[in-house]
């Protein structure tokens, strides 16, 4: 079965959260980690669970799209850390000039 034939239920928010397979863990309902995510083999099954959720907005996406979103979020986080380090190490930053 291809990854385009597998589906994930995603919570639409600022964070990237996936619906958790409760057989894998009982500690939480939503996770950032795809290893805990419930993977549906049919889009209808994912939409059925989606219709039962009351709070928040949700979308059904393919497993392939979920992996690319996760990768994109990681890359954005790395860029943010790199730019912060560059700012802190720059000799002409406002910290170095005593403006803070």
Phi, psi torsion values for 20, nearest 5 degrees: -90, 140
Question: Is residue 98 a part of any domain in this protein?
Answer: no
| Average pLDDT value over all residues in the chain | 80
Query: Is 31 a member of any domain?
Result: yes
Does 67 fall in a domain? yes
Residue of higher predicted confidence among 42 and 87? 42
Residues above pLDDT 70, as percent of the chain: 71
Q: Total structural domains in the chain? A: 1
pLDDT, one tens digit per residue, over 60-94 is: 999 988 888 887 777 776 667 666 665 555 555 55
Structural domain harbouring 78: 3-89
Mean pLDDT across the stretch 32-59? 90
User: Is the pLDDT at 26 greater than 60, yes or no?
Assistant: yes
């Amino acid at each position: 079965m291809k990854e385009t034939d597998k589906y994930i239920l995603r919570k639409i928010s600022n964070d990237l959260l996936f619906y958790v397979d409760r057989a894998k863990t009982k500690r939480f309902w939503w996770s950032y980690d795809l290893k805990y995510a419930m993977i549906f083999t049919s889009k209808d099954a994912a939409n059925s669970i989606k219709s039962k959720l009351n709070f928040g907005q949700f979308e059904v996406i393919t497993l392939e799209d979920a992996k690319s979103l996760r990768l994109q979020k990681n890359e954005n986080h790395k860029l943010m850390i790199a730019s912060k380090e560059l700012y802190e190490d720059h000799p002409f930053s406002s910290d170095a000039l005593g403006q803070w």
